[in-house]
Amino acid sequence: QKAGQLFSGLLAMNVVFLGSAFISSMIFNHVSITLADVWILLSILKVLSLCWIIYYLLGTSRQPHAVLYQDSHAGPIWIRGSVLLFGSFSILLNVFQIGYSAILIQCKSRVEIVFPSIEILFICTQAFFLWHHSKDCIQVQHNFTRCGLMLTIATNLLLWLLAVTNDTIHMEIESQLREVERRFAGKAPFSHPYLCNETTLCTCPNTTICKVFQKGYILLYPFNTEYCLVCCSVLYVVWKNIGRRISHHHVPHIKPKFKLQGVVFGPLLGATAVIIGICVFMMYQIQATGSAPNRQVFVMYYSYYIVLLPLMSVGAVIGTIIHALEKKELDTLKNPTRSLDVILLMGAALGQIGMSYFSIVAIVATDPKDLLNSLILSYSVLLIFQNITQNVFIIDGLHRQPFVAATEARHTGHPGQHTVASELPGEEETATSSKQEHTQMPPGKEEEMKEEQNHEACDQRRVSMLELGQEIRKVSLSYIHSYSHLSWKRRALREISFFLVLCNIILWIMPTFGAHPVFENGLEKSFYGYSTWFAIVNFGLPLGVFYRMHSVGGLLEVYVTA
């Protein structure tokens, strides 16, 4: 098993490195390697991945005993939902691109229609695959499936890399353009430089449909990058689950459901934050993308963050304290989904935290007493603090046993032996049968037979007794929880996590749709130099956006299991 993982990992690594080298070459040497070359490479990879997915859907998964087990933790509904949502936006994006290219067919090559078509096909098939098979623990053709999955992961990573570098290159061109415009005091007629760069060669005819395609392309672009990353994480979990055998009593018998009842302050506070945030964002966008962004808009933007971030941090700290007060059992079972969640949370936070530290050093070294600078300084410090406290809160919450399981078990009527029996269908039978043999035997023979029987019997008896003890303890705990003083803790946890969900959504929306004050305020840019700060933002910003989105998933999980 290890060998298969190693080889498929090496395959993915080589593909990713080759692709990264291609993309970097395209960025730094436009002449030798063009965007078309990169697209050809990516299309080959997409077609290969597509072939494997189709083979899996029609061949591997229909083999007998191919999928004996399902990992109940993998692919929760909101992950699969976001795959569908982002996938459909990405398809729309490609449709717009095809339409745009079709209008300007006279000055564009036909290839610019072919590539998006392959992309649409790839997105559709992959979304279908992930919707139906994200929980599979595949038991046949291990190594071939591993390689196929790793190839698909590598393709998605490269698509993300291309989208991110392209996106930030736009940002760079855009900002340079604006400077030029500012100098000449002209208007800003183009809002999307990638397209406008082309319009110097072939202008978009002044029809509504062409403008719609342009605007839609700009608006939908961020969803594509998120789609690639989400697919990567789901595919990774499937890859981890290959060949895994899940014993039956690990499967939780009741799924916690998403219920809104009982929470008031969290949604209210969160909705207020979202509404104010949208207002701030729109004012920022109107002012900052205009020809002359002034300091006031930055002051407003940072003030909003400085009010919101401490609230979020305090919420997360209170949540962590409540987690510590509540003496729930920790869930220590193997769970690739959760391990990945934790790694992604910590890894994605690094982008934001790194950027903040760079800002802090830049401000402290220049002039921390200026109003705007002190605002940025406190914003950066608070952001680090917020990221860390929120991570601790989410990771803590993910490792707790879901509460619902205990309360629901109480409602089933016969909480004790009955629950155990239904939980352990296979093992219980063997345990009772060996017990029966045991009592039928004459006491003289027992000495000889005991050796072999005990080996199986006593283990299982111990397991079922432990399980019974735990079950009784759980049920009594749940009784205490529901009817006494502990109830406020659950409610507080739900309020806090709901509030944090809404806050993270607004903090996700703002950078996704184009508010990049860290680039536009010009402070760090002048301190580190244009290209260095650009590289730092290029690394940190996409990770920060992904962090917010991923936090929302983690917080929803905490909300449901609280």
Contact positions vs a copy of itself (CB under 8 A): 2, 6, 10, 13-14, 17-18, 20-22, 24-25, 28-29, 32-33, 350, 353-354, 357-358, 360-362, 365-366, 384, 388, 392, 395, 399, 443-444, 446, 451, 454-455, 458-459, 461-462, 527-529, 531-532
Min. distance of Cβ 33 from a copy of itself in angstroms? Answer: 5
Min. distance of Cβ 361 from a copy of itself in angstroms? Answer: 4
**Residue among 6 and 105 whose Cβ is closer to a copy of itself:** 6
User: Six-digit token pair at 478?
Assistant: 């749940």
**Residue among 282 and 458 whose Cβ is closer to a copy of itself:** 458
Give the C-alpha separation, 165 to 42, whole Å.
15
Buried b (16+ CB within 10 A) or exposed e, 379-388: bbbbbbbbbe
Min. distance of Cβ 271 from a copy of itself in angstroms? Answer: 31
Min. distance of Cβ 490 from a copy of itself in angstroms? Answer: 21
**Residue among 81 and 469 whose Cβ is closer to a copy of itself:** 469
Phi and psi, residue 343, nearest 5°: -65, -45
User: Six-digit token pair at 62?
Assistant: 């229909």
Which of 367, 69, 90, 84 has its CA nearest to residue 216? 90
Min. distance of Cβ 350 from a copy of itself in angstroms? Answer: 7
Burial class (CB in 10 A: 0-12, 13-18, 19+), 510: buried
**Residue among 141 and 380 whose Cβ is closer to a copy of itself:** 380
Min. distance of Cβ 462 from a copy of itself in angstroms? Answer: 6
**Residue among 399 and 410 whose Cβ is closer to a copy of itself:** 399
Q: How many CB atoms lie within 10 A of CB 368?
A: 13
**Residue among 73 and 525 whose Cβ is closer to a copy of itself:** 525
Helix axes 35-58, 2-28, angle to 10 degrees: 150
Q: Are strands 136-138 and 67-70 parallel, antiparallel or unpaired?
A: antiparallel
**Residue among 90 and 464 whose Cβ is closer to a copy of itself:** 464
Min. distance of Cβ 435 from a copy of itself in angstroms? Answer: 11
Min. distance of Cβ 205 from a copy of itself in angstroms? Answer: 36
Using the 8-state DSSP alphabet, how is residue 485 labeled?
Answer: T
Asked if 150 contacts 158 with a C-beta cutoff of 8 angstroms, the reply is no
Which of 24, 15, 19 has its CA nearest to residue 40? 19
Phi and psi, residue 357, nearest 5°: -65, -40
Min. distance of Cβ 22 from a copy of itself in angstroms? Answer: 6
User: Six-digit token pair at 2?
Assistant: 């290890």
Give the three-state DSSP class for 69. strand
**Residue among 3 and 260 whose Cβ is closer to a copy of itself:** 3
Give the C-alpha separation, 158 to 146, whole Å.
18
Asked if 537 contacts 352 with a C-beta cutoff of 8 angstroms, the reply is no
Which of 385, 388, 350, 393 has its CA nearest to residue 542? 350
**Residue among 57 and 395 whose Cβ is closer to a copy of itself:** 395
Q: For residues 236, 239, 244 and 248, what is the CA-based torsion angle, rounded to 10 degrees? A: 50
**Residue among 272 and 531 whose Cβ is closer to a copy of itself:** 531
Min. distance of Cβ 10 from a copy of itself in angstroms? Answer: 6
- Give the type of residue at 273: A
